[in-house]
Amino acid sequence: MSHQPDLLYTEEEEALRSAVRDLLADHCDAATVQTRAESDEPHDRALWKNLAESMGLAGLLVPEERGGQGATHREAAVVLEELGRAVAPVPYLTSAVVATEALLACEGEEAATLLAALASGRTVGALAVPLSDRAPRDEWGVRADAAALTGAVTGVADAAAADVFLVPTADGLFAVDAGAPGVTVTPQTSLDRTRPLAAVAFDGAAGRLLAPTAAPAVRRALRAGAGLLVSEQLGLSEWLLTETVRYTRERNQFNRPVGSFQALKHRLAQLWLETVNLKAAARGAADALAAGSEDADIAVAVAQAYAAPVAVHAAEEALQLHGGIGMTWEHPIHLYLKRAKADSIALGTAGRHREELAELVELWAP
């Protein structure tokens, strides 16, 4: 029998959401995020320590016997909803989801040790592939000569915060310490400063072999990342809709709240419908990943094909309906717009996911 998706939140998931939201309310307000995004240290390491070490959220996807919390993608999705709602500048998606999923596909003592380190939150990992990748490549940018790695990868998300890189090559997946000789991390100009990109270069850097073939681990990591990225896009869309409704209720024009005008009601109602549908898609993807459903690839492709246009539309509508203040640095909408735009090309564009969905269901173009 095929898996029956459960789109509702459990009491435990709502309790987890409440705890994460309270922590973010205390330590990740919009002004703090904006100040940090404009600095040379965009990552909030203190916030990461609270989330990863104090609350144990970095190990949600890791089984208890391997040093983690033994939760599922459903709980990780709830965390990402709240992180998206706050545009939190922490490497949760890249380390606790993508890098962790890659290690879960590997066997051996080296991978187990590194997995436990990531689950503790004291070590941050990053898969050394461009943020835009949605599937393993035919050719990797880094080659391995024995265990010495040489080459470069651009557009690696959260590379500046990483303690270790998981590097795919034609000869397998390797772990390389970020501080090892021969490793250079160069920041790149990023639209979304809350999830900065960097180029990572290896010049004879010493690597530790994790798996003889990189593609299975990379495929698993990118699929989980894409499936849970939708929850982050859901969180930021909900925040944008809520704040825009609140603002249009309070802002008066011609002695009436601007939200009372029929034209704006229609736009907000349309945005609400899109956001509700996005929630169903996000929960469907998270539930399919958690259950190991045979339809997980389809659920992820459907969710990703739908999520990016909705999140970008929510940000653009919020910007417009907040009037002049939405165009300035006085309001944090620009942070959400940049995150939504960056997410729209992360782990595959909506068009690429629609193509993948057509292949999965064998619905070929005429």
Q: pLDDT digit string (tens) for 64-75?
A: 999 999 999 999
Amino acid at site 172:
G
Percentage of residues of the chain with pLDDT beyond 90: 88
HSE (side-chain half, CA atoms, 13 Å) at 53: 11
Residue 193 structure tokens: 């400063």
Query: Which of the listed CATH numbers 2.40.110.10, 2.60.120.620, 3.40.50.300, 2.170.120.20 matches domain 126-213?
Result: 2.40.110.10
Give the residue from 307, 311, 290, 289 showing the smallest Cα distance to 298.
Answer: 289
Q: Which CATH architecture has domain 216-361?
A: Up-down Bundle (1.20)
Q: Residue 190's closest CA among 154, 234, 141? A: 154
Q: Helix, strand or coil for residue 342?
A: helix
Indicate the helix (H) or strand (E) that contains 203: strand 197-206
Determine the residue type at 278.
L
Domain ranges of the chain: 11-124, 126-213, 216-361
Per-residue confidence at 108, pLDDT binned at 50, 70, 90? very high
Nearest Cα to 54, choosing from 69, 75, 35, 41? 69
Give me the pLDDT at residue 174, please: 97
Angle between helices 73-85 and 215-250 (to 10 degrees): 40
Q: Are 287 and 78 in contact (CB under 8 A)?
A: no
- Say if residue 192's pLDDT is above 60: yes
According to the model, what pLDDT value does residue 2 have?
67
pTM: predicted TM-score of the whole model, two decimal places = 0.95
Measure the CA–CA gap between 316 and 334, rounded to whole angstroms: 9
The two structure tokens encoding residue 190: 């990023």
pLDDT tens track for 250-302: 999 999 999 999 999 999 999 999 999 999 999 999 999 999 999 999 999 99
pLDDT at 68: 95
Which CATH number, 1.10.10.10, 2.40.100.10, 1.10.8.60, 1.10.540.10, labels domain 11-124?
1.10.540.10
d(CA 137, CA 99): 17
